[in-house]
Amino acid sequence: MSEREEIPPENSEVPPALPPRLPGSFKERIQGAEVLQAFFLFFLLSAAISLLVKQLVPTGDPGLVPWELGVAQLPLHLVIVASILLLRRWMGGPEGLSALGWTWNPNPLIGFARGLLWYIPMGFSWWTLAILYMVGLKALGMEPPKQEVLNFFLRPGVPLYGQLLLWIVTCATAPLAEELLFRGSLFSWLRYRFSFWPAALLTALAFALPHGGWKFIVPLGYLAIMLAWLRERSGSIWPAVGLHAAHNFVTLVLVVLFHPG
């Protein structure tokens, strides 16, 4: 009698296929050295461009950076974006790009558009908080903070092409570079090690201080937490870029329309 061929029972369990890895789900480790290199590159290039512009375009008011410095941020931001992405590719392979939230599925334009829509409720909450914060500072006898970068748009004599480049820098390249730097590199690195809130709060502190000092910690820290939440929720950097761009655009429109004089 020949041996019968074993036939698996019909009700045998077949292990389910593993779901595809969610891009930007903080499963891919980001090395701390990469984050330090990204920030070092950002501040090194910022300082170099600042010194170069001050030499080429001297100004009688040393406390106010000339508008040309704002325009110079355009190549700076593009270099930062390219450098961080290339660094991840060289050190972590192609998969490393998704760890920063640089995803192609969903489509970047769709993610960006979702960030613009999210600014409707989030922007309303931010402006409400910012107004209450300013009123509270005045009630305490403190001068509300002012961001010097906004003076770029109020300086007289800026040529049309300079104004156009300033808008592109502020509403396009700056949101992309800063989101890749803060929510892509720093937040993703912290999120791999901690839960959401410690990672979001530490990133908010790092984001707020360079943008205006301790007086901006409350409103800009809140903005940074919203951006981190979008990064966490979507697994992509693009919704945060969209919200960041919308916030900068609305802020500039209000400054240009309602500044005194």
Given its phi and psi angles, is residue 146 left (phi above 0), alpha (psi -120 to 50 degrees) or beta?
beta
Residue 2 resides in a domain: no
> Does residue 175 surpass a pLDDT of 60?
yes
Residue 207 resides in a domain: yes
Number of domains in the chain: 1
Reported as a single tens digit per residue, the pLDDT across 61-101 is: 544 455 566 666 777 777 777 777 777 777 665 556 777 88
Give the pLDDT confidence score for residue 107 in this predicted structure.
Answer: 86
> Does residue 12 surpass a pLDDT of 50?
no
Q: Compute the distance between CA of residue 197 and CA of residue 191 in angstroms, rounded to an integer.
A: 9
Average pLDDT of the residues in 174-183: 90
Give the pLDDT confidence score for residue 57 in this predicted structure.
Answer: 58
Give the pLDDT confidence score for residue 260 in this predicted structure.
Answer: 57
The closest of 238, 176, 160, 248 to 211, measured between CA atoms, is 248
Residue 26 resides in a domain: no
> Does residue 15 surpass a pLDDT of 60?
no
The closest of 241, 244, 246 to 109, measured between CA atoms, is 241
Give the pLDDT confidence score for residue 204 in this predicted structure.
Answer: 94
Q: Evaluate whether 100 touches 185 at the Cβ level (below 8 Å).
A: yes
Residue 87 resides in a domain: yes
> Does residue 10 surpass a pLDDT of 70?
no
The closest of 186, 174, 27 to 96, measured between CA atoms, is 27
Sequence letter at residue 131: I
The closest of 73, 100, 76 to 88, measured between CA atoms, is 100
pLDDT band at residue 148 using 50, 70 and 90 as cut-offs: low
Which tokens hold the place of 243? 């919200």
Give the pLDDT confidence score for residue 92 in this predicted structure.
Answer: 65
pTM, 2 dp: 0.80
The closest of 233, 117, 224, 236 to 184, measured between CA atoms, is 236
Average pLDDT, whole number, for the chain? 78
Q: Compute the distance between CA of residue 84 and CA of residue 95 in angstroms, rounded to an integer.
A: 14
Give the pLDDT confidence score for residue 63 in this predicted structure.
Answer: 46
Q: What proportion of the chain, given as a percentage, has pLDDT over 90?
A: 29
Residue 1 resides in a domain: no
Residue 174 resides in a domain: yes
Reported as a single tens digit per residue, the pLDDT across 187-239 is: 988 888 889 999 999 999 999 887 767 778 899 999 999 999 999 998 899 99
Residue 249 resides in a domain: yes
Average pLDDT of the residues in 137-146: 79
- Please give the span between the terminal C-alpha atoms of the chain, in angstroms, as a whole number: 104
> Does residue 13 surpass a pLDDT of 70?
no
Full DSSP string of 44-66 = HHHHHHHHHHHHHS--S-TTS--
Reported as a single tens digit per residue, the pLDDT across 17-59 is: 433 444 556 766 677 767 777 777 777 776 776 676 666 655 5
The closest of 185, 215, 237 to 32, measured between CA atoms, is 185
- Residue 149 belongs to what domain range? 32-258
Give the pLDDT confidence score for residue 58 in this predicted structure.
Answer: 56
Q: Compute the distance between CA of residue 96 and CA of residue 213 in angstroms, rounded to an integer.
A: 32
Reported as a single tens digit per residue, the pLDDT across 106-136 is: 689 999 999 999 999 999 999 999 999 988 8
Reported as a single tens digit per residue, the pLDDT across 77-86 is: 777 777 777 7
Residue 76 resides in a domain: yes
Give the pLDDT confidence score for residue 179 in this predicted structure.
Answer: 93
Give the pLDDT confidence score for residue 205 in this predicted structure.
Answer: 92
